[in-house]
Amino acid sequence: MVGFVGRHQELDTLSRHLDWVIDGQGDQRGRAVLLRGRRRVGKSRLVDVFCARAGVPHVIFQATRGLPAATERERLISAARDSNLPDTTLLDGIGRIDAWDTALRQVAAVLPDDQPSIVVIDEFPWLIEGDPAVEGALQTVWDRTLSAKPVLLILIGSDLAIMEHLSDYGRPFHQRGVEMRLAPLNPLDVSRLTDLPAAEAFDAYLVTGGLPLICQEWRKGEGRAAFLARMLEDPTSPLLVSGERSLAAEFPTALQARRVLSVIGSGERTFTNIARGAGTPDDPLGSGTVSPILHDLVRKRLVAIDTPLSSKPGDKDRRYRVADPYLRLWLAFLEEGISEVERGRGKLVAQAIERSWPSWRGRAIEPVIRESLSRLLPDDQWPQARQIGGWWPRTNSPELDLVGADRVPAREISFIGSVKWLENSPFDTRDYAALARDALAVPGAQEDTPLIAVSRSGFSIDALSATYGPEQLIEAWAAR
Protein backbone atom coordinates (compact mmCIF):
# COMPACT_ATOMS: atom_id res chain seq x y z
CA MET A 1 0.00 0.00 0.00
CA VAL A 2 1.38 3.42 -0.98
CA GLY A 3 2.47 5.33 2.10
CA PHE A 4 2.37 2.22 4.26
CA VAL A 5 5.74 0.71 3.50
CA GLY A 6 7.14 -0.32 6.84
CA ARG A 7 3.78 -0.10 8.63
CA HIS A 8 2.92 -3.80 8.61
CA GLN A 9 4.45 -4.26 12.05
CA GLU A 10 2.43 -1.39 13.49
CA LEU A 11 -0.81 -2.71 11.97
CA ASP A 12 -0.01 -6.14 13.41
CA THR A 13 0.58 -4.57 16.84
CA LEU A 14 -2.81 -2.87 16.81
CA SER A 15 -4.40 -6.13 15.65
CA ARG A 16 -2.84 -7.97 18.59
CA HIS A 17 -4.34 -5.43 20.98
CA LEU A 18 -7.75 -5.93 19.37
CA ASP A 19 -7.31 -9.72 19.59
CA TRP A 20 -6.61 -9.29 23.31
CA VAL A 21 -9.98 -7.55 23.63
CA ILE A 22 -11.72 -10.20 21.54
CA ASP A 23 -10.23 -13.05 23.54
CA GLY A 24 -11.04 -11.41 26.88
CA GLN A 25 -7.63 -12.21 28.31
CA GLY A 26 -7.67 -9.82 31.26
CA ASP A 27 -9.87 -9.11 34.25
CA GLN A 28 -10.97 -6.03 32.32
CA ARG A 29 -12.53 -6.50 28.92
CA GLY A 30 -11.30 -3.20 27.48
CA ARG A 31 -7.80 -2.06 26.55
CA ALA A 32 -6.42 1.45 25.99
CA VAL A 33 -3.55 2.28 23.63
CA LEU A 34 -1.69 5.60 23.81
CA LEU A 35 -0.37 6.18 20.28
CA ARG A 36 2.15 9.01 19.91
CA GLY A 37 4.32 10.26 17.07
CA ARG A 38 5.49 13.44 15.40
CA ARG A 39 3.12 15.47 13.30
CA ARG A 40 2.51 14.23 9.76
CA VAL A 41 4.11 10.87 10.49
CA GLY A 42 0.91 9.01 9.57
CA LYS A 43 -0.74 8.23 12.92
CA SER A 44 -4.26 9.08 11.81
CA ARG A 45 -3.87 7.28 8.51
CA LEU A 46 -2.52 4.18 10.28
CA VAL A 47 -5.52 4.03 12.59
CA ASP A 48 -7.96 4.72 9.73
CA VAL A 49 -6.54 1.76 7.81
CA PHE A 50 -6.57 -0.41 10.92
CA CYS A 51 -10.22 0.36 11.69
CA ALA A 52 -11.23 -0.28 8.09
CA ARG A 53 -9.47 -3.65 8.12
CA ALA A 54 -10.65 -4.67 11.59
CA GLY A 55 -14.25 -5.05 10.47
CA VAL A 56 -15.73 -4.15 13.87
CA PRO A 57 -17.92 -1.19 14.87
CA HIS A 58 -15.85 1.92 15.50
CA VAL A 59 -15.96 5.65 15.99
CA ILE A 60 -13.17 8.09 15.18
CA PHE A 61 -13.26 11.53 16.77
CA GLN A 62 -10.77 14.18 15.62
CA ALA A 63 -10.24 16.99 18.13
CA THR A 64 -9.69 20.52 16.88
CA ARG A 65 -7.26 22.84 18.56
CA GLY A 66 -8.74 26.00 20.03
CA LEU A 67 -12.40 24.98 20.01
CA PRO A 68 -14.34 25.47 23.27
CA ALA A 69 -14.72 22.32 25.36
CA ALA A 70 -18.51 22.45 25.02
CA THR A 71 -18.19 22.42 21.23
CA GLU A 72 -15.78 19.50 21.35
CA ARG A 73 -18.19 17.51 23.50
CA GLU A 74 -20.94 18.12 20.96
CA ARG A 75 -18.63 17.05 18.15
CA LEU A 76 -17.75 13.85 20.01
CA ILE A 77 -21.41 12.94 20.37
CA SER A 78 -21.99 13.79 16.71
CA ALA A 79 -19.10 11.56 15.62
CA ALA A 80 -20.52 8.67 17.63
CA ARG A 81 -24.02 9.30 16.25
CA ASP A 82 -22.69 9.19 12.66
CA SER A 83 -20.56 6.07 13.21
CA ASN A 84 -21.38 2.41 12.59
CA LEU A 85 -21.76 1.70 16.30
CA PRO A 86 -25.03 -0.04 17.18
CA ASP A 87 -27.87 1.77 18.93
CA THR A 88 -26.67 5.26 17.95
CA THR A 89 -30.31 6.35 18.04
CA LEU A 90 -29.80 6.58 21.80
CA LEU A 91 -27.79 9.73 21.08
CA ASP A 92 -30.58 11.45 19.16
CA GLY A 93 -31.95 14.57 20.76
CA ILE A 94 -29.11 15.03 23.24
CA GLY A 95 -28.74 18.70 23.98
CA ARG A 96 -25.91 20.66 25.54
CA ILE A 97 -23.53 18.56 27.65
CA ASP A 98 -21.73 20.47 30.39
CA ALA A 99 -19.17 17.89 31.51
CA TRP A 100 -16.75 15.48 29.87
CA ASP A 101 -17.72 12.52 32.01
CA THR A 102 -21.30 12.89 30.79
CA ALA A 103 -20.22 13.01 27.16
CA LEU A 104 -17.96 10.00 27.54
CA ARG A 105 -20.66 8.02 29.33
CA GLN A 106 -23.05 8.74 26.46
CA VAL A 107 -20.54 7.27 24.01
CA ALA A 108 -19.96 4.27 26.28
CA ALA A 109 -23.70 3.63 26.35
CA VAL A 110 -23.81 2.86 22.62
CA LEU A 111 -20.81 0.51 22.65
CA PRO A 112 -21.85 -3.12 22.27
CA ASP A 113 -21.48 -5.59 25.15
CA ASP A 114 -21.49 -8.71 22.95
CA GLN A 115 -18.89 -7.81 20.30
CA PRO A 116 -15.65 -5.80 20.16
CA SER A 117 -15.58 -2.16 19.11
CA ILE A 118 -12.98 0.58 18.64
CA VAL A 119 -13.07 4.15 19.95
CA VAL A 120 -10.47 6.58 18.62
CA ILE A 121 -9.81 10.05 20.01
CA ASP A 122 -7.34 11.80 17.73
CA GLU A 123 -5.17 14.66 19.06
CA PHE A 124 -6.20 14.00 22.65
CA PRO A 125 -3.62 16.56 23.93
CA TRP A 126 -5.67 19.31 22.26
CA LEU A 127 -8.65 18.32 24.41
CA ILE A 128 -6.44 18.54 27.51
CA GLU A 129 -5.16 21.92 26.35
CA GLY A 130 -8.71 23.20 25.99
CA ASP A 131 -10.00 21.66 29.23
CA PRO A 132 -7.62 19.77 31.58
CA ALA A 133 -10.65 18.19 33.27
CA VAL A 134 -11.04 15.78 30.34
CA GLU A 135 -8.08 13.71 31.56
CA GLY A 136 -9.63 12.94 34.94
CA ALA A 137 -13.06 12.45 33.41
CA LEU A 138 -11.70 9.86 30.99
CA GLN A 139 -10.04 8.00 33.86
CA THR A 140 -13.29 7.89 35.82
CA VAL A 141 -15.39 6.72 32.87
CA TRP A 142 -12.73 4.18 31.88
CA ASP A 143 -12.57 2.67 35.36
CA ARG A 144 -16.32 2.52 35.90
CA THR A 145 -17.76 1.90 32.45
CA LEU A 146 -15.53 1.69 29.39
CA SER A 147 -13.05 -0.93 30.62
CA ALA A 148 -15.94 -3.28 31.37
CA LYS A 149 -16.84 -3.40 27.67
CA PRO A 150 -14.92 -5.21 24.90
CA VAL A 151 -13.55 -1.97 23.51
CA LEU A 152 -10.16 -0.92 22.17
CA LEU A 153 -9.69 2.74 23.08
CA ILE A 154 -6.97 4.47 21.04
CA LEU A 155 -5.77 7.90 22.16
CA ILE A 156 -3.62 9.62 19.52
CA GLY A 157 -1.37 12.61 20.09
CA SER A 158 1.36 14.57 18.31
CA ASP A 159 2.49 16.42 21.43
CA LEU A 160 5.08 13.84 22.42
CA ALA A 161 5.73 15.31 25.87
CA ILE A 162 2.06 15.21 26.89
CA MET A 163 1.49 11.74 25.44
CA GLU A 164 4.58 10.34 27.17
CA HIS A 165 3.44 11.69 30.53
CA LEU A 166 -0.22 10.61 30.31
CA SER A 167 0.56 7.39 32.14
CA ASP A 168 3.04 8.88 34.62
CA TYR A 169 2.57 8.26 38.33
CA GLY A 170 0.18 10.84 39.71
CA ARG A 171 -1.61 11.41 36.38
CA PRO A 172 -5.24 10.20 36.13
CA PHE A 173 -4.51 7.62 33.42
CA HIS A 174 -1.51 6.10 35.22
CA GLN A 175 -1.03 2.41 34.27
CA ARG A 176 -4.28 2.35 32.34
CA GLY A 177 -2.90 2.41 28.81
CA VAL A 178 -0.37 0.56 26.66
CA GLU A 179 2.09 2.98 25.07
CA MET A 180 2.86 2.80 21.36
CA ARG A 181 5.12 5.08 19.31
CA LEU A 182 4.84 5.57 15.56
CA ALA A 183 8.19 6.59 14.09
CA PRO A 184 8.79 8.03 10.62
CA LEU A 185 9.69 5.59 7.88
CA ASN A 186 13.29 4.54 8.35
CA PRO A 187 16.01 4.63 5.65
CA LEU A 188 15.33 1.02 4.63
CA ASP A 189 11.61 1.78 4.28
CA VAL A 190 12.46 4.81 2.16
CA SER A 191 14.76 2.69 -0.01
CA ARG A 192 11.98 0.20 -0.65
CA LEU A 193 9.39 2.88 -1.33
CA THR A 194 11.58 4.86 -3.74
CA ASP A 195 13.33 1.86 -5.31
CA LEU A 196 16.69 3.57 -4.77
CA PRO A 197 20.07 2.00 -3.95
CA ALA A 198 21.35 2.45 -0.42
CA ALA A 199 23.48 5.58 -0.90
CA GLU A 200 20.74 7.43 -2.78
CA ALA A 201 18.10 6.19 -0.34
CA PHE A 202 19.94 7.93 2.49
CA ASP A 203 19.72 11.13 0.45
CA ALA A 204 15.99 10.58 0.05
CA TYR A 205 15.69 10.01 3.79
CA LEU A 206 17.49 13.28 4.56
CA VAL A 207 15.12 15.12 2.21
CA THR A 208 11.86 13.53 3.39
CA GLY A 209 12.67 12.69 6.99
CA GLY A 210 10.74 9.48 6.38
CA LEU A 211 7.41 11.34 6.40
CA PRO A 212 4.98 9.16 4.41
CA LEU A 213 3.14 12.12 2.87
CA ILE A 214 6.38 13.30 1.24
CA CYS A 215 7.82 9.86 0.53
CA GLN A 216 4.81 8.84 -1.52
CA GLU A 217 5.49 11.75 -3.88
CA TRP A 218 8.88 10.25 -4.79
CA ARG A 219 8.76 8.45 -8.14
CA LYS A 220 10.40 5.04 -8.39
CA GLY A 221 14.11 5.41 -9.06
CA GLU A 222 13.99 9.21 -9.13
CA GLY A 223 17.19 10.97 -8.08
CA ARG A 224 17.38 13.59 -5.35
CA ALA A 225 17.99 16.55 -7.67
CA ALA A 226 15.11 15.59 -9.96
CA PHE A 227 12.73 15.14 -7.02
CA LEU A 228 13.63 18.50 -5.51
CA ALA A 229 13.31 20.27 -8.86
CA ARG A 230 9.86 18.78 -9.41
CA MET A 231 8.59 19.49 -5.90
CA LEU A 232 9.85 23.09 -6.02
CA GLU A 233 7.77 23.79 -9.09
CA ASP A 234 4.62 23.53 -6.96
CA PRO A 235 4.04 25.85 -3.98
CA THR A 236 1.46 23.38 -2.63
CA SER A 237 3.77 20.33 -2.68
CA PRO A 238 4.02 18.36 0.57
CA LEU A 239 7.76 19.03 0.61
CA LEU A 240 7.08 22.75 1.05
CA VAL A 241 3.90 22.88 3.12
CA SER A 242 4.57 20.08 5.64
CA GLY A 243 7.19 22.06 7.54
CA GLU A 244 5.11 25.20 7.69
CA ARG A 245 2.01 23.37 8.89
CA SER A 246 3.91 21.38 11.51
CA LEU A 247 5.54 24.46 12.99
CA ALA A 248 2.30 26.42 12.90
CA ALA A 249 0.73 23.67 15.02
CA GLU A 250 3.71 23.51 17.38
CA PHE A 251 4.10 27.28 17.81
CA PRO A 252 0.76 29.03 17.30
CA THR A 253 1.91 32.00 19.42
CA ALA A 254 5.45 31.22 20.65
CA LEU A 255 7.42 33.52 18.34
CA GLN A 256 10.64 33.41 20.36
CA ALA A 257 10.71 29.61 20.32
CA ARG A 258 10.16 29.71 16.58
CA ARG A 259 13.11 32.08 16.18
CA VAL A 260 15.38 29.88 18.29
CA LEU A 261 14.46 26.82 16.21
CA SER A 262 15.18 28.71 12.99
CA VAL A 263 18.61 29.71 14.27
CA ILE A 264 19.43 26.09 15.09
CA GLY A 265 18.13 25.09 11.68
CA SER A 266 20.47 27.58 10.04
CA GLY A 267 23.43 25.71 11.53
CA GLU A 268 24.16 27.28 14.92
CA ARG A 269 24.95 24.58 17.48
CA THR A 270 26.23 26.17 20.69
CA PHE A 271 24.13 27.88 23.36
CA THR A 272 25.98 31.17 23.00
CA ASN A 273 25.62 31.35 19.22
CA ILE A 274 21.97 30.30 19.37
CA ALA A 275 21.16 33.05 21.88
CA ARG A 276 23.06 35.59 19.80
CA GLY A 277 21.38 34.55 16.56
CA ALA A 278 17.85 34.42 17.99
CA GLY A 279 18.05 37.97 19.33
CA THR A 280 18.58 41.32 17.69
CA PRO A 281 20.73 44.30 18.66
CA ASP A 282 17.56 45.98 19.94
CA ASP A 283 16.08 42.84 21.48
CA PRO A 284 18.79 40.41 22.67
CA LEU A 285 17.76 37.13 24.23
CA GLY A 286 19.37 36.42 27.58
CA SER A 287 20.23 32.98 28.94
CA GLY A 288 17.19 33.16 31.22
CA THR A 289 15.01 33.32 28.10
CA VAL A 290 16.90 30.91 25.85
CA SER A 291 17.35 28.11 28.42
CA PRO A 292 13.62 27.38 28.95
CA ILE A 293 12.99 27.69 25.21
CA LEU A 294 15.66 25.11 24.44
CA HIS A 295 14.32 22.88 27.21
CA ASP A 296 10.85 23.04 25.66
CA LEU A 297 12.18 22.34 22.15
CA VAL A 298 14.02 19.29 23.44
CA ARG A 299 10.93 18.19 25.38
CA LYS A 300 8.90 18.40 22.17
CA ARG A 301 11.56 16.27 20.38
CA LEU A 302 12.13 19.06 17.85
CA VAL A 303 15.71 19.61 18.98
CA ALA A 304 18.27 16.98 20.01
CA ILE A 305 21.27 17.45 22.28
CA ASP A 306 24.61 15.86 21.43
CA THR A 307 27.42 15.61 23.95
CA PRO A 308 31.00 14.52 23.25
CA LEU A 309 31.61 10.87 24.11
CA SER A 310 34.88 10.06 25.87
CA SER A 311 36.20 9.07 29.29
CA LYS A 312 35.33 12.56 30.57
CA PRO A 313 31.80 13.96 31.10
CA GLY A 314 30.79 16.15 28.16
CA ASP A 315 27.70 18.05 29.32
CA LYS A 316 29.52 21.39 29.29
CA ASP A 317 30.26 21.01 25.58
CA ARG A 318 26.77 20.05 24.45
CA ARG A 319 25.62 20.88 20.94
CA TYR A 320 22.09 21.38 19.64
CA ARG A 321 20.62 20.25 16.33
CA VAL A 322 17.21 19.93 14.69
CA ALA A 323 16.20 16.34 15.39
CA ASP A 324 14.16 15.69 12.23
CA PRO A 325 16.17 15.54 8.95
CA TYR A 326 13.26 16.92 6.90
CA LEU A 327 12.67 19.85 9.23
CA ARG A 328 16.41 20.49 9.23
CA LEU A 329 16.31 20.77 5.41
CA TRP A 330 13.15 22.89 5.52
CA LEU A 331 14.62 25.38 7.97
CA ALA A 332 17.93 25.57 6.11
CA PHE A 333 16.58 26.03 2.58
CA LEU A 334 12.85 25.80 2.07
CA GLU A 335 11.51 28.27 4.62
CA GLU A 336 13.15 31.23 2.92
CA GLY A 337 12.57 29.72 -0.52
CA ILE A 338 8.77 29.56 -0.30
CA SER A 339 8.35 33.09 -1.67
CA GLU A 340 10.58 32.24 -4.65
CA VAL A 341 8.56 29.10 -5.37
CA GLU A 342 5.33 31.09 -5.17
CA ARG A 343 6.75 33.48 -7.79
CA GLY A 344 7.52 30.56 -10.08
CA ARG A 345 11.24 30.64 -9.36
CA GLY A 346 11.60 27.32 -7.59
CA LYS A 347 14.53 26.52 -9.88
CA LEU A 348 16.60 29.08 -7.95
CA VAL A 349 15.84 27.31 -4.67
CA ALA A 350 16.74 23.93 -6.17
CA GLN A 351 20.04 25.35 -7.41
CA ALA A 352 20.83 26.80 -3.98
CA ILE A 353 20.23 23.40 -2.38
CA GLU A 354 22.47 21.68 -4.92
CA ARG A 355 25.32 24.14 -4.30
CA SER A 356 25.17 23.58 -0.54
CA TRP A 357 24.21 19.91 -0.62
CA PRO A 358 27.64 18.27 -0.07
CA SER A 359 28.47 20.33 3.03
CA TRP A 360 24.90 20.28 4.40
CA ARG A 361 24.57 16.54 3.88
CA GLY A 362 27.95 15.90 5.46
CA ARG A 363 26.69 17.27 8.77
CA ALA A 364 23.09 16.01 8.49
CA ILE A 365 24.06 12.39 7.78
CA GLU A 366 26.22 11.99 10.90
CA PRO A 367 23.42 11.34 13.45
CA VAL A 368 21.77 8.95 10.99
CA ILE A 369 25.02 7.01 10.64
CA ARG A 370 25.48 6.89 14.41
CA GLU A 371 21.96 5.54 14.81
CA SER A 372 22.64 2.95 12.10
CA LEU A 373 25.80 1.80 13.87
CA SER A 374 23.90 1.70 17.16
CA ARG A 375 21.59 -0.82 15.53
CA LEU A 376 24.48 -2.93 14.22
CA LEU A 377 26.53 -2.87 17.43
CA PRO A 378 27.53 -4.38 19.74
CA ASP A 379 28.62 -7.43 17.76
CA ASP A 380 31.36 -10.06 17.93
CA GLN A 381 34.03 -7.58 16.83
CA TRP A 382 32.88 -4.77 19.14
CA PRO A 383 31.18 -6.50 22.10
CA GLN A 384 31.57 -3.46 24.38
CA ALA A 385 30.41 -0.81 21.88
CA ARG A 386 27.07 -0.06 23.50
CA GLN A 387 27.25 3.70 22.98
CA ILE A 388 27.97 5.42 19.66
CA GLY A 389 28.71 9.14 19.57
CA GLY A 390 31.23 11.72 18.44
CA TRP A 391 33.78 13.87 20.21
CA TRP A 392 34.81 17.53 20.07
CA PRO A 393 36.50 19.98 22.45
CA ARG A 394 35.13 23.39 23.33
CA THR A 395 37.09 24.86 20.42
CA ASN A 396 35.48 22.32 18.02
CA SER A 397 38.91 21.37 16.69
CA PRO A 398 39.50 18.55 16.14
CA GLU A 399 36.10 16.90 15.71
CA LEU A 400 35.84 13.11 15.62
CA ASP A 401 32.72 11.79 13.90
CA LEU A 402 32.52 8.41 15.63
CA VAL A 403 33.39 7.12 19.07
CA GLY A 404 32.35 3.67 20.27
CA ALA A 405 32.32 3.12 24.03
CA ASP A 406 30.88 0.91 26.74
CA ARG A 407 28.96 3.66 28.52
CA VAL A 408 28.69 7.45 29.07
CA PRO A 409 31.20 8.61 30.20
CA ALA A 410 33.35 5.80 28.85
CA ARG A 411 35.34 3.35 30.88
CA GLU A 412 36.59 1.72 27.69
CA ILE A 413 36.72 3.22 24.21
CA SER A 414 36.21 0.52 21.58
CA PHE A 415 37.11 2.59 18.51
CA ILE A 416 37.48 6.06 17.02
CA GLY A 417 36.11 6.70 13.54
CA SER A 418 35.54 9.11 10.69
CA VAL A 419 32.70 9.65 8.22
CA LYS A 420 33.38 10.59 4.60
CA TRP A 421 30.10 10.88 2.73
CA LEU A 422 31.01 12.20 -0.72
CA GLU A 423 30.26 11.01 -4.25
CA ASN A 424 33.25 9.64 -6.16
CA SER A 425 35.69 10.27 -3.31
CA PRO A 426 36.69 7.17 -1.34
CA PHE A 427 38.25 7.19 2.10
CA ASP A 428 41.99 7.39 1.35
CA THR A 429 45.41 7.59 2.99
CA ARG A 430 45.07 11.31 3.67
CA ASP A 431 41.80 10.74 5.51
CA TYR A 432 43.40 7.91 7.48
CA ALA A 433 46.35 10.06 8.49
CA ALA A 434 44.05 12.82 9.75
CA LEU A 435 41.96 10.31 11.71
CA ALA A 436 45.03 8.70 13.31
CA ARG A 437 46.37 12.11 14.32
CA ASP A 438 43.12 13.50 15.74
CA ALA A 439 42.07 10.29 17.54
CA LEU A 440 44.74 10.82 20.19
CA ALA A 441 42.97 13.99 21.32
CA VAL A 442 39.97 11.98 22.58
CA PRO A 443 40.20 11.48 26.37
CA GLY A 444 40.53 7.76 27.02
CA ALA A 445 41.93 6.89 23.58
CA GLN A 446 45.21 4.99 23.41
CA GLU A 447 47.89 4.57 20.75
CA ASP A 448 46.41 1.19 19.88
CA THR A 449 42.71 2.24 19.93
CA PRO A 450 41.20 0.75 16.73
CA LEU A 451 40.29 3.12 13.91
CA ILE A 452 37.20 2.66 11.73
CA ALA A 453 35.58 4.64 8.92
CA VAL A 454 32.27 5.07 7.13
CA SER A 455 32.33 6.05 3.47
CA ARG A 456 29.70 6.62 0.83
CA SER A 457 32.13 5.82 -2.00
CA GLY A 458 34.29 3.01 -0.66
CA PHE A 459 37.87 2.82 0.57
CA SER A 460 41.27 2.98 -1.11
CA ILE A 461 43.21 1.72 1.94
CA ASP A 462 43.09 -1.42 4.07
CA ALA A 463 44.65 -0.18 7.32
CA LEU A 464 41.31 0.35 9.12
CA SER A 465 40.02 -2.08 11.76
CA ALA A 466 36.51 -1.93 10.25
CA THR A 467 34.76 -0.21 7.37
CA TYR A 468 31.10 0.47 6.74
CA GLY A 469 29.33 1.49 3.54
CA PRO A 470 25.77 2.52 2.67
CA GLU A 471 24.59 -1.06 2.10
CA GLN A 472 25.65 -2.22 5.56
CA LEU A 473 24.21 0.85 7.23
CA ILE A 474 20.81 0.61 5.56
CA GLU A 475 20.45 -3.08 6.41
CA ALA A 476 20.88 -2.11 10.05
CA TRP A 477 17.26 -0.90 9.91
CA ALA A 478 15.87 -4.31 9.01
CA ALA A 479 13.59 -5.77 11.67
CA ARG A 480 15.43 -8.12 14.01
Nearest to 394 by CA among 320, 277, 316, 321: 316
Q: Do residues 286 and 240 both lie within one domain?
A: yes
Is 328 part of a structural domain of the chain?
yes
Q: Do residues 236 and 327 both lie within one domain?
A: yes
Which of the listed residues 181, 200, 224 is the one where a domain comes to its end?
A: 181
Work out how many domains the chain is built from and give that number. 3
Q: Do residues 206 and 337 both lie within one domain?
A: yes
Secondary element (H or E) of residue 351: helix 346-376
Angstrom distance (rounded) from CA 324 to CA 118? 32
pTM for this entry: 0.90
pLDDT, position 287: 81
CA distances from 296 to 52, 71, 371 (A): 37, 29, 23
Q: Do residues 296 and 154 both lie within one domain?
A: no
Gyration radius (Cα) of the chain, Å: 25
Q: Do residues 312 and 443 both lie within one domain?
A: no
| Residue 465, burial from CB neighbour count under 10 angstroms (0-12, 13-18, 19+) | middle
Q: Do residues 198 and 280 both lie within one domain?
A: yes
Which of the listed residues 317, 339, 362 is the one where a domain comes to its end?
A: 362
Q: Do residues 212 and 342 both lie within one domain?
A: yes
Angstrom distance (rounded) from CA 396 to CA 333? 25
pLDDT, position 370: 98
Is 1 part of a structural domain of the chain?
no
Q: Do residues 370 and 265 both lie within one domain?
A: no
Which of the listed residues 337, 362, 387 is the one where a domain comes to its end?
A: 362
Nearest to 32 by CA among 20, 23, 42: 20
Q: Do residues 269 and 372 both lie within one domain?
A: no
Domain of 224 in residue numbering reads as 187-362
Is 406 part of a structural domain of the chain?
yes
Q: Do residues 289 and 401 both lie within one domain?
A: no
Angstrom distance (rounded) from CA 202 to CA 456? 10
| pLDDT tens column, 320-379 | 999 999 999 999 999 999 999 999 999 999 999 999 999 999 999 999 999 999 999 999
pLDDT > 90? residue 134: yes
Angstrom distance (rounded) from CA 320 to CA 328? 12
Q: Do residues 373 and 323 both lie within one domain?
A: no
The rounded mean pLDDT for the chain is 94
